[in-house]
Chains A and B, each alone.
Chain A
Amino acid sequence: SQTIHQWPATLVQPVGSPLSLECTVEGTSNPNLYWYRQAAGRGLQLLFYSVGIGQISSEVPQNLSASRPQDRQFILSSKKLLLSDSGFYLCAWSPSTRRETQYFGPGTRLLVL
């Protein structure tokens, strides 16, 4: 069966510090991968998605970036965090043969102070 991991679960970072969140998927190959952010009381905002290694599509211009160095690894990064980057970050995957059904990881709760 497929599983998706995210870490860390919780993170408190000062403004201006860098960020690296990691997501890995097990039990499948060539998945589509997604990064979402959910601010308090808000909906899920799609940040990035990837259909293959090195292929990243950005949905919202911001100070975040994403990379996919391996087939089942998706990384969300920032060089300098802003207060507005606080939120619940969710990684999701979908099978390449059924692209839309997405399954979410447990999420990382980020608080920027």
Chain B
Amino acid sequence: GQNIDQPTEMTATEGAIVQINCTYQTSGFNGLFWYQQHAGEAPTFLSYNVLDGLEEKGRFSSFLSRSKGYSYLLLKELQMKDSASYLCAPGGYQKVTFGTGTKLQVIP
């Protein structure tokens, strides 16, 4: 089975940096996805980590430690439009399991 743990809610200030942690226990793990979901909208793909380490993509970076079952998403220079839910999703063969997500609120 799959078990995914990430904080339910976080609040951060515009212009700041925030780190959203995720731990997972899964079988058949191939890599880990992060998705962004604005309220009432479909999730959109942010990142996919297969190997251990940090991958940077603009203001967003994602880190993976396979041995620890741990990942984080790092958001820099926060903007108001970053207010959304961030879904941690370990992927296996043909399937991805989504966590319940972390609802991030960016305040002025």
Contacts and interface: CB of A to CB of B under 8 A. Distances in A.
B48 interface: yes
Which 3 pairs across A and B sit closest by C-beta, in order of nearness?
A: A43-B100, A104-B42, A100-B91
Interface stretch (A44-52, A67-75, A79-87): A44-52
Interface residues of A, number: 18
Interface in A57-109: 90, 99-107
Interface of B: 30-31, 33, 41-45, 48, 87, 91-101
Contacts of A24: none
Contacts of A90: 42-43
Interface of A: 32, 36, 42-44, 46, 49, 51, 90, 99-107
Contact of A101 (B33, B92, B100, B101): B33
A100 B91 CA distance: 6
A105 B41 CA distance: 9
A43 to B, nearest CB: 4
Contact of A106 (B30, B33, B42, B96): B42
Nearest to B50: A100
A44 B43 contact: yes
